[in-house]
Amino acid sequence: MAQEFILSHQQQRAFQPQKLSAPRDFVIPEVAKGNDKTATLVLEIGAGKGKHALSFAAAHSDQQLIAIERTRNKFEAFAKQATQQALSNLTPIHADAIAWIVHAIVPNSIARIFILYPNPEQHNPNQQWLNMPFFEFLLSRLQEGGEVILATNIKSYMDNAEQQSIGVWQLPTVRHEVPANSQRTHFEVKYVARRETCWQLNMRKPVGYQTRFDG
């Protein structure tokens, strides 16, 4: 693929967003259109039953959170709680995250991206977030200085994510243990109760970072 600029990463394979159809009944929520340049927009991928999304939105009324969950029963439990709490800064989305992000999120619009569920496709490394060409597209939607925050209790997944973040994606990266009293997600509550270690990876997008999808 011809490039008109030097990419800021070492990923050779290019993601092909044009091959993805929009999700069924797809509608872009107003908050995702990028019209309000003053809004702080946050994204959560794999929100589950919404424990983190609900608490984050309640604690950060000045930020708009879009929280995506693909599994129907989890989403329905999440959506019910969101309706009951009536948080105006929370938008629950039932969809495949990759297709939805491709069709709904504009470049350089997201301040922070949370990926807090333990391990996507543990036995299929090519489908782990930082191994996928899609991660370049995701970074293009992140603002300069914005962060991707990933968490897991699986050391091999975290080790690989850290290596990919630094070696392939060329991102300033900080790894640390999640506090042993964390109540952030249902997963972390369960793992902490078992006295398992959870890790978090914070990956920051530098100023001037270049992708193929900057718009």
How many domains are there within the chain?
A: 1
| 170: CATH | 3.40.50.150
pLDDT for 215 beyond 90: no
Residue 177, φ and ψ in degrees, nearest 5: -80, 140
Q: What is the pLDDT of residues 72-131, one digit of tens each?
A: 999 999 999 999 999 999 999 999 999 999 999 999 999 999 999 876 666 788 889 999
Residue 14's identity, in one-letter code, is A
Counting Cα atoms < 13 Å in the Cβ hemisphere of 76 gives 3
**Residue 15 domain-assigned (yes or no):** no
Do the bridges between strand 173-177 and strand 199-204 make them parallel or antiparallel, or are there none, so unpaired?
antiparallel
Contacts of 164 (CB under 8 A, 6+ apart): 130, 131
d(CA 79, CA 12) in angstroms, rounded, equals 38
Average pLDDT of span 65-69: 97
d(CA 150, CA 45) in angstroms, rounded, equals 10
Per-residue confidence (pLDDT) for residue 185, from 0 to 100? 95
Q: What is the pLDDT of residues 20-63, one digit of tens each?
A: 999 888 999 999 988 887 889 999 999 999 999 999 999 999 99
- Rg of the chain over CA atoms, in angstroms? 17
| Residue 77, H or E segment | helix 72-85
**Residue 10 domain-assigned (yes or no):** no
d(CA 106, CA 39) in angstroms, rounded, equals 14
Q: What is the pLDDT of residues 138-191, one digit of tens each?
A: 999 999 999 999 999 999 999 999 999 999 999 999 999 999 899 999 999 999
CA 7-8-11 angle, to 5 degrees, is 75
Neighbours of 160 (CB within 10 A): 15
**Residue 27 domain-assigned (yes or no):** no
Per-residue confidence (pLDDT) for residue 1, from 0 to 100? 43
**Residue 134 domain-assigned (yes or no):** yes
Per-residue confidence (pLDDT) for residue 2, from 0 to 100? 43
Domain, as residue range, for 41:
37-204
Q: Token pair for residue 63? A: 């930020």
Residue 201, φ and ψ in degrees, nearest 5: -120, 125
**Residue 178 domain-assigned (yes or no):** yes
**Residue 59 domain-assigned (yes or no):** yes
**Residue 171 domain-assigned (yes or no):** yes
Contacts of 66 (CB under 8 A, 6+ apart): 29, 31, 32, 41, 42, 43, 44, 91, 93
**Residue 122 domain-assigned (yes or no):** yes
11: helix, coil or strand? coil
